[in-house]
């Protein structure tokens, strides 16, 4: 299992209020939420993101309120994986719960540039910057988390258990 796409890069402390501003939370429609993803920090995000793209960000990604809408908006917009120095604890869990892959790898964050083509192998934790041919090592997902992500989130994973 892997992610492969171009990188959209952001700094430290990207909070859930800029990932999906509160004024758009009157909808539970994932596509509607995705159409407003990152609008307050990057008004061109929705126009630039393609299915499979990745976000690379600094420290404390997803801090702020515990809204589940934030990872859902990013995943529905097309983001396949987020690589960051670190994640807010609740965002980390919410991302896994909805099947959005996330990796912590400060070395990759420091060197990967906006627009680079990147692959992430979830089995090994290897992050490859295809543009520069550099590789980085993140912690691989345990098998049960890989299954949750593959199934599209925790609810789907549990519904598919025999």
List the structure tokens of 4.
């492969």
pLDDT at 162: 65
47-78 tens-digit pLDDT: 999 999 999 999 999 999 877 899 999 999 99
Of residues 62, 139, 120, the one with CA closest to residue 93: 62
Among 5-19, 111-125, 140-154, name the one with the lowest average pLDDT.
Answer: 140-154
Cα separation values, 15 from 26, 126, 131, 133, 160, Å = 19, 26, 28, 31, 32
List the structure tokens of 50.
């393609």
pLDDT band of residue 12 (cuts 50, 70, 90) is: very high
pLDDT at 1: 75
CA angle 139, 53, 90 (to 5 degrees): 50
Residue that wins the pLDDT comparison between 147 and 27: 147
* Domain 2-157 CATH superfamily: Aconitase, domain 4 (3.20.19.10)
Q: How far apart are CA 11 and CA 44, in angstroms?
A: 16
List the structure tokens of 12.
């430290």
pLDDT at 66: 76
List the structure tokens of 123.
């089995």
86-142 tens-digit pLDDT: 999 999 999 999 999 999 999 999 999 999 999 999 999 999 999 999 999 999 989
List the structure tokens of 30.
């994932």
Residue 8 has pLDDT above 70, yes or no: yes
């Amino acid at each position: 299992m892997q992610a492969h796409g171009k990188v959209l890069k952001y700094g430290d402390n990207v909070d859930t209020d800029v990932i999906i501003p509160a004024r758009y939370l009157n909808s539970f429609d994932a596509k509607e939420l995705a159409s407003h993803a990152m609008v307050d920090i990057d008004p061109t995000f929705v126009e630039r993101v393609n299915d499979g793209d990745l976000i690379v960000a600094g420290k404390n990604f997803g801090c702020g309120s515990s809204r589940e809408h934030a990872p859902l908006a990013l995943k529905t917009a097309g983001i396949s994986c987020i690589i960051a120095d670190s994640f807010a604890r609740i965002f980390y869990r919410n991302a896994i719960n909805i099947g959005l892959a996330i990796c912590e790898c400060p070395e990759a964050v420091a060197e990967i540039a906006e627009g680079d083509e990147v692959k992430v192998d979830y089995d090994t934790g290897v992050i490859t910057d295809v543009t520069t041919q550099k590789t980085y090592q993140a912690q691989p997902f345990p098998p049960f988390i890989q299954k949750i992500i593959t199934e599209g989130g925790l609810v789907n994973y549990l519904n598919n258990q025999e």
